[in-house]
């Protein structure tokens, strides 16, 4: 089993920045990649960004490219999502997720952290 703990959400004005962190514990050696998803009120959960557990190889949703950066800290088993130039439409609950294989659904999910961007 793998446990994921998110931190760093909050309230920020449009144009501002926030940093989300996700710490993984447990059988982390089995992980293939980690990612962030978000869910806004009344909408389905959507992909935001993903990074291979090795730290090599990232992918972003078109809506966040150029504004969000996902990085991996091997020593701390943590991934960090740096969010810049935030927009009101970025408001959502952000979830950290991880999986043991390159394809298919994610196996593990965090509890979620609220990000609110005021316009």
| Predicted confidence band of residue 73 (pLDDT cuts 50, 70, 90) | confident
Give the pLDDT confidence score for residue 53 in this predicted structure: 79
Tokens coding 98: 């991880």
Tokens coding 64: 């966040």
Q: Is 63 exposed, middle or buried (0-12, 13-18, 19+ CB in 10 A)?
A: middle
In angstroms, how far apart are the furthest CA atoms of the chain?
Answer: 41
Name which residue leads in pLDDT, 68 or 75. Answer: 68
- Is 23 within 8 Å of 3 (Cβ atoms)? no
Give the pLDDT confidence score for residue 75 in this predicted structure: 82
The span from the CA of 7 to the CA of 66, in Å, is 22
What pLDDT digit, counting tens, does each position of 29-64 carry? 888 899 999 999 999 999 999 998 777 889 999 999
The span from the CA of 51 to the CA of 99, in Å, is 11
Neighbours of 114 (CB within 10 A): 11
Percent of the chain with pLDDT over 90: 78
């Amino acid at each position: 089993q793998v446990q994921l703990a998110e931190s760093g959400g909050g309230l920020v004005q449009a144009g501002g920045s926030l940093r989300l962190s996700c710490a993984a514990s447990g059988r982390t050696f089995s992980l293939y990649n980690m990612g962030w998803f978000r869910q806004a009120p009344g909408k389905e959960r959507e992909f935001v960004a993903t990074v291979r557990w090795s730290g090599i190889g990232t992918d972003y949703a078109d809506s966040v490219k150029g504004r969000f950066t996902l990085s991996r800290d091997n020593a701390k088993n943590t991934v960090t999502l740096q969010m810049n130039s935030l927009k009101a439409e970025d408001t959502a609950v952000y979830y950290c997720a991880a999986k043991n294989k390159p394809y298919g659904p994610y196996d593990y999910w965090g509890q979620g952290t609220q990000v609110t961007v005021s316009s």
